[in-house]
Amino acid sequence: MTERLSPGDTAPAFTLTSAEGGTVSLADFSGQQVIIYFYPKASTPGCTTQACDFRDSLESLNAAGYQVLGVSPDPVSDLKRFADEEGLSFPLLSDEDHAVAEAYGAWGEKKNYGKLYEGLIRSTVVVDADGAVTLAQYNVKATGHVARLRKELAA
């Protein structure tokens, strides 16, 4: 199992391909606060609920000074379709080799219907303007997560 991040840790640097085809790096957001959320699979019910919650809360999160990045192991083509279908206006990033998820502690052992397997653990990491982790949440529930996060961040 990969090491989980804690408040005060330096957020691991990354550059990933976005649904739009360009690249997005954590360094692009230097001096800004960033919410990085890891989700298992685009266009599945839970991930759609969570993504739409972020979409619907984006204005208040942005107003509170937060940028939102969604990261999944999906290929870019799936992310593009997901963003288009759901009207998602924040970057969705493809982490097909799950290296970034591993660096953030969001990849590991999961249990589904009694079977153990390796996969993406639904997680959210908040990074401050200096690149330090201020909040790291693992095994979050898709439903209601964004509302709880907004409350914790006073956004």
Strand partners, 10: 132
Tally Cβ neighbours within 10 Å of residue 79. 25
User: Which residues pair with residue 112 across a beta bridge?
Assistant: 115
Supply angle C-alpha 30, 103, 62, rounded to 5: 35
47 is catalytic: yes
Token output for 96 = 């097909």
Alpha helix stretches (DSSP H) within the chain: 45-63, 76-86, 99-103, 145-152
Among the options 47, 61, 88, 133, which is catalytic? 47
Supply the residues annotated as catalytic.
47
